Structure 1
Amino acid sequence: MVNPGKRMHILQALLALRHGPGAAILPPEITRIHLDFALKWNDGHLGPRKFWKTCLPRLKFWNPAIPMLVNRTSDQSAPAKMSIYFRQASLDSNTPSALTTKLTPSTRARGRRERVVTIDMKNVHSDEILSEFMTKTGATLIHPTPDEQVEMRQIEELNEKAAIDRSIMKKYIDDVKREERILAIARQEADAIKMAND
């Protein structure tokens, strides 16, 4: 049987992956997502980096069939952008969306058109990136079930209890170390007095 503490940690990690920013189901028209940003967080790349770390794992969890590619460059001055590719069965050449549609080599071979929507992520907070992403894709948010809400509350209560237990244990350890220091000083003083009297 799995240790209850270990089970709670696994459950906590799973719930964190299933719910939170980025937990959404994308529409079937989306074929792939590309993210381009710099390796380091400075020069306006903090928002894209945070989106990649917090939101993208949840998006991938709920949409495993959609390729999500991340290209990171060492050039901090490079733009940070997200490209979202939408499948289009047929287009009337007079529609406005037909003007923004580009035929990529891979789609040309399959006889299918793709519309590319880009999001400029440079100097933008990750929450704003996610909000624009949700608006432009029309993704459906995932909400926790009642059972998951109960489990999340239990984990939160356990975390609060663990924080109290940690503070109590830290105080105990600090008190023990202080007493050991006092005893060590007292021994040194006793040894010094004994040597002075001999």
Structure 2
Amino acid sequence: MVNLAKRMRNFQPLLAVQYGKGAAVLPPPPSPQLTRLTMRFPRTEWSLSNQGPRMFAKDSLPRLKYHNPALPIRVEDTQSSTLELTFESADKASLEKLQKRDDSDNLEDEWTEIQTKPQEPADQGSTSTSVPIFTRNGILGLKGKHSREIWRWLEHKTACKDVSITPQDEILRRKLQGIARKSAADRMLVKAGMDALRKQQAELKKAREAAERLTSEA
């Protein structure tokens, strides 16, 4: 049987994707609906200015996808660094307000003009009139921005709600932290023991070599 500590450690990846920055639920209609998220950045570049986008893609996007599985998320490897959000709504005025929704961070972003989304042709026998759907894109430049700034911008523009950790998962998280601390302490003890053993073996080797030299000189 697998020991308890190992079984509990198997929960770590699940907890990591369930909670934290990016773990949020997008609002339902009539709020503008986020229908596509496209992130572009040089994925093979390790400069400091690219660290924020890299961490956002690694940590926040998986959590957002976990809680919103129907949301199409695309990450592209390009030289430009941008995060593009596509919104749709039957309420044109709600899309107009997106650009000014919570500008407290003063992040410079760009917004496309509102367009009417092409509709599927109605059945010939149908007499109902389709409601027009409007669409608009918001684009944030990512170069040099911290992952927290990127998330706050997305959070404000989408009006998503953070997912709070449940009491049961909080208990499990604390237990895992305790196991991690104990494991780290155990590793330090093992390392100290191995270092002492290596030192003792080195001293014994020197002593034997010294004894052999004395024997040969006698």
Asked whether the two chains share a fold, i.e. TM above 0.5, the reply is: yes
Matches within 5 A, 1:82-93: 82-91=83-92
Deviation at 1:175, TM superposition (A): 0.5
Deviation at 1:96, TM superposition (A): 4.0
Question: Comparing 168-177 with 37-46, which one deviates more in the overlay?
Answer: 37-46
Residue 59 of structure 1 pairs with residue 70 of structure 2: no
User: 1:81 is aligned with what amino acid?
Assistant: T
**Does structure 2 retain, via aligned residues, the 8 Å contact 1:119–1:133?**
no
Aligned residue pair count: 188
Q: How far, CA to CA, are the matches of 1:184 and 1:43 in structure 2?
A: 48
Which residue of structure 1 aligns with residue 126 of structure 2?
A: none
Which residue of structure 1 aligns with residue 165 of structure 2?
A: 144
Deviation at 1:139, TM superposition (A): 0.6
Matches within 5 A, 1:13-92: 13-28=13-28, 29-39=33-43, 40-42=45-47, 44-73=49-78, 75=79, 78=80, 80-91=81-92
User: 2:92 is aligned with what amino acid?
Assistant: L
Q: How far, CA to CA, are the matches of 1:10 and 1:132 in structure 2?
A: 33
Distance 1:43 1:108, change over 3 A: farther
Q: How far, CA to CA, are the matches of 2:185 and 2:26 in structure 1?
A: 41
Higher relative helix content: 1
Structure 2: give runs of 5+ residues left out of the alignment. Answer: 99-111, 121-131
TM-score in terms of structure 2 length: 0.79
Q: How far, CA to CA, are the matches of 2:209 and 2:48 in structure 1?
A: 56
Q: How far, CA to CA, are the matches of 1:11 and 1:96 in structure 2?
A: 43
Question: Comparing 83-92 with 185-194, which one deviates more in the overlay?
Answer: 83-92
Deviations 1:24-62 (A, max 9, x none): 112241111000111213272221111001111111111
Indicate the SS of the match to 2:204: helix
Indicate the SS of the match to 1:108: coil
Q: 133, 136, 157: which one pairs with 2:154?
A: 133
**Does structure 1 retain, via aligned residues, the 8 Å contact 2:5–2:179?**
no
Deviation at 1:97, TM superposition (A): 5.8
TM-score in terms of structure 1 length: 0.86
**Does structure 2 retain, via aligned residues, the 8 Å contact 1:102–1:116?**
no
Residue 175 of structure 1 pairs with residue 175 of structure 2: no
Q: How far, CA to CA, are the matches of 1:85 and 1:127 in structure 2?
A: 21
Identity %: 32
